[in-house]
Structure 1
């Protein structure tokens, strides 16, 4: 994943402080009364061959990756549907490999969002919705990322697309055009529109795009995309901050939390998720299942293990 990528040598100089919650977020949470949220944690893909021997058993076939992935995580952010229009037979097949509580969170296909930029896309949208229908009760929220070139001047197009969707769909929107964040009037207008129409807002935490860490919830649900940097020490301190913010939101009645782990190289996503879940369970009293790593066979030639970044965090070795 290239979004928000920076020179690793600059990471220590970046201010990763999470902004305070905007007034709109506080208002959304104060209007709810939910004792304990549902929490979903996962990655962006399951097809990682380098997870074989790490969280997938040695010798696992690619056709069985999803089945094993679902034993560790309870959701998936499906970037695969962005690059290829899904079919019912395909999504039915994926659904059959997971348990009843697992959630697929498919991304709208790029032909809709990038090719046509949400205009004259009824036929494509119908095909997409027909394709993801195969997920049935395993369908989670749908992820809409308008083309990065779509800024505040396209709000009417965005609203027309969203309000033309079936009302029972759970949709979250991610903005990447900087204009939404640099203009306070545009920011207020578009997030108020999402609130009014009951659509969620995606919060993306990436090193090089701190404006996308806007902290504005438009429904009592959070959809967080965290982009790490290969287990750099700042990955852990950033996770610590997110755990505390989630704890705060839980105290105000948030209903659902979706937390997706990304890395510019996805090799180490399971390690960082394991750390996130452990800290979440510790500080928030949750009972989210941690991914289980396969014990590595030691040899006479092994070096002593590397120490954790702060003396309490996992080793950066896989």
Structure 2
């Protein structure tokens, strides 16, 4: 992921500290508080990495078996592949057959819908997309939408019309990238209120060069975090530590589910940092998420 990338030389000057929660976030969480454990899903953005062979995939693993091995280490995947091509039912049903019953696929709406048509006159493509991802069955997690980055506050009616056109049983999260959503207080209040009214979650994207996207406003009692690391730079671990404490606070206040997906500008190191996230969440949030097991003698992987 290139979004929010800055030079290595400037990383130490970035203020990575998480902002305080929006006042509406804790109010919403407490209003939905239930006496049940928070579900936590942690994973990467893709599984098809040949450079993970000998790291988390045994040497000699064929590409067709990558997902089987990925699902032994992580309980979810942020499925960016569906942004570039609408999958077929047969494809998603085939992927489903390679994972356990508790694994979650979180597919991204295709660019034909979000970027090329910008959410207008999309019924044919939406129907095709929803038919395709239906093959995941009970393994389908949240579906997420990133409107074209050029879609700012003037397009709020278009976004709302699209949201309302979707089936109500789709768990939807939206990632906003146009800077005006965050720079304009009225626009920010309007869009987050609209999403909350429609039971649509907000994505928080933590990237070095776009700190405005770390808005800390939840609109449902569930959180979806896209974390963009910088090649295992020391600040990556400091940022994860901060996130773990925030996740703990949300859990204590009634969060029903947390989805945390790891990105790196060079994805080769995503499993290492993802492993660290899981270890820290287990330690501080009293969870028991299976920890990925690495292969080889490199000290990073044991």
TM category (shorter chain) comes to: over 0.9
Q: 1:234-273: CA deviations, max 9, x gaps?
A: 0000000000001111110100000000000000111101
Question: SS of the residue aligned with 1:223?
Answer: strand
Aligned equivalents of 1:222, 1:104: Cα separation in 2: 16
Show the 5 A alignment for 1:157-176.
157-176=158-177
Aligned equivalents of 1:285, 1:136: Cα separation in 2: 30
The residue that corresponds to 1:155 in the other structure is: 156
Question: SS of the residue aligned with 2:293?
Answer: coil
Structure 2 unaligned spans of 5+: none
The residue that corresponds to 2:19 in the other structure is: 19
Aligned equivalents of 2:112, 2:52: Cα separation in 1: 31
Show the 5 A alignment for 1:1-318.
1-34=1-34, 35-296=36-297, 315=300
Whether the 8 Å contact between 1:205 and 1:224 is mirrored in structure 2 is yes
TM-score by length of 2: 0.98
Runs of 4+ in structure 1 over 3 Å off = none
Q: 1:110-156: CA deviations, max 9, x gaps?
A: 00000000000001100000110100100000010000000000000
CA RMSD in angstroms comes to 1.1
Aligned equivalents of 2:120, 2:296: Cα separation in 1: 51
The residue that corresponds to 1:309 in the other structure is: none
Range with bigger deviation, 93-102 or 24-33: 24-33
Structure 1 unaligned spans of 5+: 298-304, 306-314
Q: Aligned-pair distance for 1:187?
A: 0.3
Q: 1:175-220: CA deviations, max 9, x gaps?
A: 0000100000000000000000100000000000000000100000
Whether the 8 Å contact between 1:32 and 1:252 is mirrored in structure 2 is no
Give the structure with higher Rg (CA): 1
Aligned equivalents of 2:295, 2:52: Cα separation in 1: 10
Q: 1:82-126: CA deviations, max 9, x gaps?
A: 000111011111111111110000000000000000000001100
Q: 1:27-74: CA deviations, max 9, x gaps?
A: 111102233100000000000001000000000000000010000001
Aligned equivalents of 2:274, 2:89: Cα separation in 1: 30
| More helix by percentage | 2
Question: SS of the residue aligned with 2:237?
Answer: helix
Q: Aligned-pair distance for 1:296?
A: 2.3
Aligned equivalents of 1:218, 1:201: Cα separation in 2: 6
How many residues of Structure 1 are paired with residues of Structure 2 in the alignment?
A: 301
Aligned equivalents of 2:57, 2:263: Cα separation in 1: 18
Question: SS of the residue aligned with 1:47?
Answer: coil
Question: SS of the residue aligned with 2:259?
Answer: strand
Question: SS of the residue aligned with 1:195?
Answer: helix
Aligned equivalents of 1:233, 1:29: Cα separation in 2: 32
Range with bigger deviation, 151-160 or 33-42: 33-42
Aligned equivalents of 2:207, 2:107: Cα separation in 1: 20
